[in-house]
């Protein structure tokens, strides 16, 4: 078995046992990354950083003191500030931006011994579900429909992360999730991805999109790998005012697929006839798998589900329009020259620097926050958000974890979805958990009739990542998902 | 919006891409889909000004129907009874921490200016504001 097809747990254990060196791992991955340019997954490659971390890891092992992630090189979504390495959030307006500081999450990963393979492509400012809004052009999914060579999207916004992990050009990657941006691409790419409880991972040094929703999380090829990475990423950070001042649980050590006594909530509002039959069939199969693991399914109701997406599309653009006000051509990033006044410089810079979807969302956000509309839209959405949160609180009196499909379709073709609203629908199952700040995970469940991966989605109660991971493990063991895209790149 | 209408909406949105968005929204009928509070081109121009994004008439003309479709769609929230519901501001209950009133950062002028498109004499430089 080649080094690049091993899981993070296997790499870690093999490295510690002396089966191979960290340098060998880094070299194998650097070569794989360099050979996969057709996927457009990386925006920057940092092979030297991967090798430097590997050499430190090899030294640490000789000294008998390997760190939790010693020997593991990772892909980093381009939303995380990385010192001295271009950090652009997939936007033209940030091209050439080299942070003089490091995000807390990537600093935590480095402290745990991990190296960096490079920065991963993404939808511009994480606004998109297909990676098509990136200034670098779309990531091409390594997956293809059976017998077809049509280019498919890896989902988004963490599409580079999903493509890299499934194409074996990163053993794991960081992602961020505002309304499904870890889970939907994980489902499309046949990998695992978890968004922890809001506040578990520091937002410091992550380019802001919608601050009340943004949350970092890992994407990897197994549930165990997600637990390993999340333990390293999470933790209290005084630099983030919404960071949770709580110890990081030992998620990996407490992994167990025995769900005896656990109740799995099946929300009736998520049963939508027009979703492809294969997706609802996989959902039923998921219920059977969890029953087999000892859990009891219970029907639950989340009555405000249908309002989650419109609520999200008020709150997220509103926060984005405020957060993105900082791109003014003065402090960093692009400046459009050749205009006379300061005001014209702002407007020209932002016109040239932002792409169409980002402009659309800034316009919606500015509109719903503008005088006379603020209460009707923004405050109203915050009230409905409270009701959505209440729905979940009530549901978790009856169950311990909730099972749904991750997305209403398998991966679609690049350029196939052009309507903004149709694109937004990709996150119909993912957004409610985001609005409620709950931990949620996508785990691959199987392939559809065209040979494309489909994901199952687990939502847990506040701070209960463990039950989400354990239910994910139970599904992983029973689904036996081992499919990998056939190499064409 | 009744549950069947929700299903109908999903079905419509999931309809083949060959059907344009306006056609698909029209398929829902005027009663099901309340006519959006129209954003006029002048209003859109004002929003663009507030957002400090230069936009041509052509761009605005393209954007107005998109904004109207999205705004019309989010307007369905008006049917939710939110009487007595406090707006949610902190998704996970926590007290805002206070820190000691101490200087913990600073003396990093060059770092702060490192990415400025134009820096002069240790300051950010901008086009002339006062003639």
Question: By the 8 A CB rule, do A250 and A465 touch?
Answer: no
Q: How far apart are CA A265 and CA B49, in angstroms?
A: 47
Question: How much is the average pLDDT of A251-255?
Answer: 98
Question: How much is the average pLDDT of A7-31?
Answer: 98
Q: To probe the interface with A, which of B5, B52, B64 has the most A CB atoms within 10 Å?
A: B52
Q: How far apart are CA A433 and CA B51, in angstroms?
A: 30
Q: How far apart are CA B118 and CA B108, in angstroms?
A: 17
Handedness of CA A136, A139, A140, A145 (dihedral sign): negative
Domains of chain A in start order, with CATH, are: 3-260 (3.90.1300.10)
Q: Which residue of A has its CA nearest to B6?
A: A306
Q: What local confidence, expressed as pLDDT, does residue B24 receive?
A: 47
B94, pLDDT greater than 90: no
Q: What local confidence, expressed as pLDDT, does residue A419 receive?
A: 87
Q: Which residue of B has its CA nearest to A270?
A: B7
Q: What local confidence, expressed as pLDDT, does residue B7 receive?
A: 55
Domain boundaries, chain B: 3-79
Q: In A235-341, which ranges are E strands?
A: 263-267, 296-300
Q: How far apart are CA A312 and CA A384, in angstroms?
A: 10
For residue range A255-267, list pLDDT tens digits in order: 999 999 999 999 9
Is A77 a catalytic site residue? yes
* Helix, strand, or coil (residue A61): helix
Is A377 in contact with B74 (Cβ distance < 8 A)? Answer: yes
Question: How much is the average pLDDT of B12-30?
Answer: 47
CA distances from A3 to A21, A26, A57, A405 (A): 11, 9, 16, 32
Contact with chain A for residue B78, Cβ under 8 A: yes
A453, pLDDT greater than 90: yes
Contact with chain A for residue B124, Cβ under 8 A: yes
Encoded tokens for A76: 């980093």
Is B53 in contact with A462 (Cβ distance < 8 A)? Answer: no
Contact with chain B for residue A350, Cβ under 8 A: yes
Q: What local confidence, expressed as pLDDT, does residue B37 receive?
A: 62
Tokens 């549930």, located at residue = A223
Direct distance between the N- and C-terminal alpha carbons of chain A, in angstroms, rounded to an integer: 20
Q: How far apart are CA A360 and CA A418, in angstroms?
A: 14
Q: What local confidence, expressed as pLDDT, does residue A290 receive?
A: 98
Task: Show residues of chain B in contact with A333, CB under 8 Å.
Answer: 115, 117
Contact with chain A for residue B80, Cβ under 8 A: yes
Is B129 in contact with A342 (Cβ distance < 8 A)? Answer: yes
Q: Which residue among A197, A341, A368 places its CB closest to the CB of B92?
A: A197
Q: Which residue of B has its CA nearest to A342?
A: B127
Q: Which among A336, A328, A394 is positioned nearest to A362, based on CA atoms? A: A328
Is B126 in contact with A330 (Cβ distance < 8 A)? Answer: yes
Q: How far apart are CA B36 and CA A145, in angstroms?
A: 39
Contact with chain A for residue B20, Cβ under 8 A: yes
> CB neighbours (10 Å) of residue A337?
11
Is A341 in contact with B127 (Cβ distance < 8 A)? Answer: yes
Q: What is the ipTM of this complex?
A: 0.93
Is A100 in contact with B74 (Cβ distance < 8 A)? Answer: no
Cβ-count burial of B27 within 10 angstroms (0-12 exposed, 13-18 middle, 19+ buried)?
middle
Is A181 a catalytic site residue? yes
Is B21 in contact with A419 (Cβ distance < 8 A)? Answer: yes
DSSP category for residue A193: E
Element (H, E) at A85: none
Question: How much is the average pLDDT of B77-98?
Answer: 92
Question: By the 8 A CB rule, do A131 and A159 touch?
Answer: yes
Q: In A29-165, which ranges are E strands?
A: 42-45, 73-77, 115-120
CA A202 centroid distance within chain: 15
For residue range A148-175, list pLDDT tens digits in order: 999 999 999 999 999 999 999 999 999 9
Q: To probe the interface with A, which of B1, B5, B13 has the most A CB atoms within 10 Å?
A: B13
Encoded tokens for A147: 């017998």
For chain A, give the mean pLDDT. 97
> What is the pTM for the complete model shown?
0.94
Strands of the sheet containing A73-77, edge to edge, are: A42-45, A115-120, A73-77, A172-177, A215-220, A192-195, A440-447, A453-460, A401-405, A263-267, A296-300
Q: Which residue of A has its CA nearest to B13?
A: A422
Encoded tokens for A393: 């609180």
> What share of residues in chain A are helix, strand, coil (percent, to 5)?
40, 15, 45
């Amino acid at each position: 078995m080649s080094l690049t097809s091993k899981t993070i747990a296997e790499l870690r254990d093999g490295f510690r046992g002396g089966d191979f060196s960290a340098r060998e791992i880094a070299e194998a991955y650097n070569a794989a990354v360099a050979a996969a340019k057709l996927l457009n997954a990386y925006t920057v490659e940092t092979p030297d950083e991967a090798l430097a971390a590997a050499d430190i890891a090899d030294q640490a092992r000789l000294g008998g003191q390997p760190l939790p992630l010693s020997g593991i090189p990772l892909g980093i979504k381009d939303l995380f500030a990385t010192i001295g390495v271009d950090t652009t959030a997939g936007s033209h307006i940030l091209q050439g931006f080299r942070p003089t500081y490091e995000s807390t999450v990537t600093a935590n990963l480095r402290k745990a011994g991990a190296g960096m393979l490079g920065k991963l492509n993404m939808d511009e400012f994480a606004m998109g579900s297909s990676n098509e809004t990136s200034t670098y052009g779309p990531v091409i999914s390594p997956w293809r429909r059976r017998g077809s060579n049509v280019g498919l999207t890896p989902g988004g916004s963490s599409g580079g992360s999903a493509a890299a992990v499934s194409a074996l050009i990163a053993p794991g990657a960081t992602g961020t999730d505002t309304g499904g941006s870890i889970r939907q691409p994980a489902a499309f790419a046949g990998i695992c991805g978890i968004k922890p409880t809001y506040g578990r991972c520091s937002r410091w040094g992550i380019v802001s999109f919608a601050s009340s929703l943004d949350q970092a999380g890992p994407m990897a090829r197994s549930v165990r790998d997600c637990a390993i990475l999340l333990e390293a990423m999470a933790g209290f950070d005084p630099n983030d005012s919404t960071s949770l001042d709580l110890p990081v649980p030992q998620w990996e050590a407490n992994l167990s697929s025995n769900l005896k006594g656990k109740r799995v909530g099946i929300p009736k509002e998520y049963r939508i006839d027009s979703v492809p039959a294969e997706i609802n069939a996989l959902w039923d199969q998921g219920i059977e798998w969890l029953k087999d693991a000892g859990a009891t399914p219970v029907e639950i109701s989340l009555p405000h589900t249908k309002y989650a997406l419109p609520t999200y599309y008020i709150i997220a653009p509103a926060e984005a329009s405020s957060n993105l006000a900082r791109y003014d051509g003065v402090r960093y990033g692009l400046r459009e020259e050749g205009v006379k006044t300061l005001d014209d410089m702002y407007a020209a810079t932002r016109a040239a620097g932002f792409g169409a979807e980002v402009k659309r969302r800034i316009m919606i956000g500015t509109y719903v926050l503008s005088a006379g509309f603020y209460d009707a839209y923004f405050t109203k959405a915050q009230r409905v958000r409270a009701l959505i949160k209440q729905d979940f609180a009530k549901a978790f009196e009856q169950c311990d974890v909730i099972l749904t499909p991750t997305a209403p379709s398998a991966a679609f073709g690049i350029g196939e979805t052009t309507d903004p609203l149709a694109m937004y629908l990709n996150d119909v199952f993912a957004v409610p958990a985001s609005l409620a700040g709950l931990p949620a995970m996508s785990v691959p469940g199987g392939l559809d009739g065209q040979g494309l991966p489909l994901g199952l989605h687990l939502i847990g109660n506040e701070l209960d990542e463990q039950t989400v991971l354990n239910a994910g493990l139970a599904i992983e063991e029973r689904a036996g998902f081992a499919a990998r895209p056939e190499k064409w790149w | 919006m009744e549950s069947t209408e929700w299903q109908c909406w999903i079905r419509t949105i999931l309809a083949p891409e060959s059907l344009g968005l306006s056609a698909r929204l029209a398929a829902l009928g005027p009663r099901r889909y309340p006519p959006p509070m129209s954003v006029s081109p002048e209003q859109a121009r004002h929003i663009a000004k507030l957002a400090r994004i230069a936009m041509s008439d052509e761009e605005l003309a393209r954007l107005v129907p998109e904004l109207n479709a999205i705004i019309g769609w989010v307007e369905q929230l008006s049917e939710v009874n939110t009487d007595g519901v406090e707006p949610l501001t902190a998704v996970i209950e926590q007290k805002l921490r206070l820190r000691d009133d101490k200087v913990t950062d600073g003396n990093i002028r060059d770092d702060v200016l490192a990415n400025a498109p134009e820096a002069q004499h240790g300051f950010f430089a901008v086009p002339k504001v006062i003639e």
